[in-house]
Amino acid sequence: MITLREIREAEQAIAGFVHKTPIIHSHSFSAMTGADVFLKMENLQKTGSFKVRGAFSKLRSIPAGNIIAASMGNHAQGVAFAAALLGMHAMVIMPVSAPIAKQEATKGYGAEVKLYGESFQDALSYALSQKDYVFIHAYDDEKVIAGQGTIGLEILDDLKDIDSLIVPVGGGGLISGIAVAVKSLSPKTEIIGVQTCSARSAYESLFKGNILECKPCYTLADGIAVGRVGAFTLELMKKYVDDMLVVNENTIAMSILLFMERKKLVVEGAGAVPLAALLENKERFRGKRVALVVSGGNIDFSLIDRIIHKGLVSSGRIGIFEVTIDDTPGKLHLLTGLIAGHRGNIHTIVHDRLSTALSVNETRVLFTIETRGKDHTMEIMDAIRIRGFAVKESE
Please tell me whether residues 181 and 203 are part of one structural domain: yes
Rounded distance between C-alpha atoms, residue 246 and residue 167, angstroms: 12
Please tell me whether residues 173 and 162 are part of one structural domain: yes
Which of 113, 136, 159 delimits the end of a domain? Answer: 136
Please tell me whether residues 220 and 297 are part of one structural domain: yes
Please tell me whether residues 174 and 248 are part of one structural domain: yes
Rounded distance between C-alpha atoms, residue 249 and residue 251, angstroms: 5
Rounded distance between C-alpha atoms, residue 123 and residue 36, angstroms: 40
> What does each of the 395 residues of the chain score in pLDDT, given as a tens digit?
899 999 999 999 999 999 999 999 999 999 999 999 999 999 999 999 999 999 999 999 999 889 999 998 899 999 999 999 999 999 999 999 888 888 999 999 999 999 999 888 899 899 999 989 999 999 999 999 999 999 999 999 999 999 999 999 999 999 999 999 999 999 999 999 999 999 999 999 999 999 999 999 989 999 999 999 999 999 999 999 999 999 999 999 999 999 999 999 999 999 999 999 999 999 999 999 999 999 999 998 878 888 888 888 888 899 999 999 888 888 899 999 999 999 999 999 998 888 878 888 889 999 999 999 989 999 999 999 999 998 988 86
Domain region containing 202: 4-49+142-311
Rounded distance between C-alpha atoms, residue 309 and residue 304, angstroms: 9
Please tell me whether residues 180 and 305 are part of one structural domain: yes
Please tell me whether residues 261 and 190 are part of one structural domain: yes
Which of 121, 136, 151 delimits the end of a domain? Answer: 136
Q: What's 301's DSSP letter? A: G
Dihedral sign for Cα 311, 317, 318, 324, please: positive
Please tell me whether residues 256 and 296 are part of one structural domain: yes
Please tell me whether residues 297 and 336 are part of one structural domain: no
In angstroms, the first-to-last Cα distance of the chain is 48
Please tell me whether residues 157 and 11 are part of one structural domain: yes
Rounded distance between C-alpha atoms, residue 348 and residue 285, angstroms: 39
CATH classification of the domain holding 42: 3.40.50.1100
For residue 74, which amino acid is it? N
> What is the total count of domains within the chain?
3
Q: What contacts 339, CB < 8 A, 6 or more positions away?
A: 346, 367, 369, 380, 384
Please tell me whether residues 280 and 188 are part of one structural domain: yes
Please tell me whether residues 83 and 220 are part of one structural domain: no
Please tell me whether residues 45 and 121 are part of one structural domain: no
Which of 72, 105, 136 delimits the end of a domain? Answer: 136
For residue 35, which amino acid is it? A
Sheet holding 66-70, edge to edge: 112-115, 89-94, 66-70, 134-136
CATH classification of the domain holding 349: 3.30.70.260
